Chains A and B, each alone.
Chain A
Amino acid sequence: GEDVEQSLFLSVREGDSSVINCTYTDSSSTYLYWYKQEPGAGLQLLTYIFSNMDMKQDQRLTVLLNKKDKHLSLRIADTQTGDSAIYFCAESIDQAGTALIFGKGTTLSVSS
């Protein structure tokens, strides 16, 4: 079945780069997503990548996809205290890109 795994915690210092990793099992995934959740709030879409892409960059965010290894990463450059949140990796599991399977989330803690 489908499974998305992430490390649970990451702690970095302000100004450093953060790299959050994710692995997935469904090779037919069409899109892979990164969402951010702040305490008590819903999920904010950060970025997403189509499965035939290797990399996508958007300002401080860089997504790398290794489809062979089914590995996705999110790099946040110049991490700020406001980046502290839970980051969820998700894959779409049908061709229409509708249903999502989420990882358990990585809690990013940024210290000043």
Chain B
Amino acid sequence: GAVVSQHPSRVICKSGTSVKIECRSLDFQATTMFWYRQFPKQSLMLMATSNEGSKATYEQGVEKDKFLINHASLTLSTLTVTSAHPEDSSFYICSARARGRDQPQHFGDGTRLSIL
């Protein structure tokens, strides 16, 4: 149980393109979803937290107009990197958490974004 699907797994596109990444909880309802960014050989950096039906909460230093997050349903959150540039190239990972105090975060397999 507790499967999180992230799509696409890899994207290569030109500078200036907007890229949408989807995160789905397949077998549970995710009241909270998280988006992380991971640089090579580094830990995960939390970008934003989104609760279903409300606006995402962004971490300090993360541009909300650059990284648009939509959590429209209890099983789907999307991250759109708008007008992507080479410095946005990174590994983006989502996680999802069901309702309840004892629920851990379950992670997707990540999206490797490469901006040329």
Contact = CB atoms under 8 A, between A and B. Distances in A.
Contacts of B75: none
A5 to B, nearest CB: 11
B97 A98 contact: yes
B87 interface: no
B44 A40 contact: no
Interface string B84-108: 0000000001010100011111111
Interface string A15-46: 00000000000000001010100001111110
A98 to B, nearest CB: 6
B105 A103 contact: no
Contacts of B102: 31, 50, 97
Contact of B44 (A45, A97, A102): A102
Nearest to A50: B102
B43 A98 contact: no
A69 B86 CA distance: 43
B112 interface: yes
Interface centre among B34, B49, B107 (most CB of A within 10 A): B107
Contacts of A102: 43-44
B93 A98 contact: no
B52 interface: no
How many A residues are at the interface, by size bracket?
20 to 34
A12 interface: no
A42 B110 CA distance: 5
Contacts of A50: 102
B78 interface: no
A40 B93 CA distance: 11
A98 B49 contact: yes
28 contacts: A31-B104, A33-B104, A35-B107, A40-B110, A40-B112, A41-B110, A42-B4, A42-B6, A42-B93, A42-B109, A42-B110, A43-B44, A43-B95, A45-B104, A45-B105, A45-B106, A45-B107, A50-B102, A96-B101, A97-B102, A97-B103, A97-B104, A99-B34, A99-B46, A100-B34, A100-B105, A104-B42, A105-B43
